Structure 1
Amino acid sequence: MSLAPGWHPVALSGSIDPGTSAGTHLDGREYVVWRDNSGAAHVWEDRCPHRGMKLSFGFVRGDHIACLYHGWQYDTAGRCRYIPAHPDLEVPATITVPVFATAEACGMIWTTKDAEADRAAPPSGSGDTVPVASLQAACRTETLIDAVRAAPAQPFVADAAGFDLAPVAETLWRLTVGGDTLLLGVQRLGEARSALHVAIEGSEAVYAGAGQAHWFAWFRALRHRLGAVTDAGARSAAAMAEAV
């Protein structure tokens, strides 16, 4: 399965602290999302070239990420710079990890495999963002959006009426409820697994604390709804298999 063109969200910016890493999937392939100690985000193939260990199991040291298995260290360009078993070795330049273009926008970390010459700008919002949460569900991305569309929502800032859900890009949606706006990053994990990353489009002065709690309550209800949807889908698939 190859990564579709365009930019894909892989995490909320606030969920990856400097000096940490996390594993994820895009279209069935494994990726590591990590920040060096200066705060720069990176998205790579989640595999050490030495023995195939996931780099997301490893650790960050300054601007290097190290494999847990034998400690091989890679710089921010993906090139191996240090092998503990051979500390004086000048590591061959051919030992590298595939790295992917990375950007931060809309309160999320994004990646793409598009060549630089063909690369469009990542999706953009109108200003500051405040994180809510991320979830994974055993369903397609279309089911995620349908669940959002059907989820009752009350605004935190009630200076207007209405409910509107509209695409900004193929992998980013904007949900407007009253005076609030949520940015929804949609990540295709695999054939029938998806992730949703939710951030409030607004300032911390307005939303930090009580505003986050308000929208996290909505998020919990959405997660419950998605669980019911995917459970029903699994039961339906099982019933069809029995009928055959």
Structure 2
Amino acid sequence: MSDPGQPQGWYAVALAADLDPGTSAGTRLFGAELVVWRDAAGSAHVWEDRCPHRGMRLSFGFVRGDHIACLYHGWQYDAAGQCRYIPAHPDLAVSPMIRARTYASLERLGLVWAAWGEEPGPPPDAGADSLTPLRSLYLDRPAARVRTAFADASKGGLASGLLRTTLAEIPVLVAVQPLADDRCAAHFLIDRPSDALTRSDRARVASACMAWRRSVEARSGERAAS
């Protein structure tokens, strides 16, 4: 269950292009530890980053086909979170009660999204046909301050933490992920198809992203000190 004081909705937790088949990565959302993993068939999953056996982070484990296995004792969980195999007891019929906690998730707009809360609402839609993933940046600032910084120069906010702005004269979408009370991630996508971008375009926007982060952290620091 999510904290009732936190806003429900869909939150981006990774750039889809950064998650290869058969890999996993740890992240956070409102302080909760999550594992984002992609099975061998290409489907992405978002779970609590904890093996129900001894609490080891599943993001430290490994993906085998449509299972993710804990690094500690090798317990394997299927795509629905059900434990299917315990190496120390290979012939055991595993109890259906042994399950990892899963979150509803989907892949859209070049991002992996996780549903937060019992009624997250409709999936995200930016009205964009073709986006090019760029990069994710991590900031030592609260998500609310980052959104405010974008609002100063944004052409308009979108649902589910998405913001639309322009960097280096190129339209960009940004998904803000609240990691914890004082930290967040910003996932950047260029609002153009990949074949319409030159290497120079990508470099200019990437450089502008870094400049934007420095500006936001400096401005937020000034506000916090005032």
Structure 1 unaligned runs (5+)? Answer: 151-162, 238-244
1:207 positional shift: 2.0
1:104 positional shift: 1.5
Match of 2:19 in 1: 16
1:126 positional shift: 1.5
1:114 positional shift: 4.1
CA contact (8 A) 2:124 2:159 kept: no
CA contact (8 A) 2:27 2:35 kept: yes
Change (3 A) 1:178 1:20: closer
1:209 positional shift: 3.0
TM-score calculated relative to the size of structure 2: 0.89
Q: 1:54 aligns with which of 43, 54, 57?
A: 57
Task: Please show how residues 233-244 of structure 1 align to structure 2 within 5 Å.
Answer: 236=225
Change (3 A) 1:207 1:31: same
Match of 2:170 in 1: 180
CA contact (8 A) 1:59 1:65 kept: yes
Larger Rg: 1
Deviations 1:29-60 (A, max 9, x none): 11111100111110000000000001011111
Higher mean displacement: 42-51 or 134-143? 134-143
Q: What's the C-alpha RMSD, in Å, of the aligned pairs?
A: 2.3
Deviations 1:139-193 (A, max 9, x none): 112321344456xxxxxxxxxxxx6431111411111468732111011111121
Aligned pair 1:199/2:197, yes or no? no
Aligned pair 1:81/2:84, yes or no? yes
Number of equivalenced pairs: 223
Structure 2 unaligned runs (5+)? Answer: none
CA contact (8 A) 2:167 2:205 kept: no
| Residues in 2 aligned to 1:103 and 1:46: alpha-carbon distance in whole angstroms | 17
Q: 2:209 aligns with which of 196, 219, 242?
A: 219
The SS at the match of 1:7 is strand
Q: Residue type matched to 1:192 in 2?
A: D
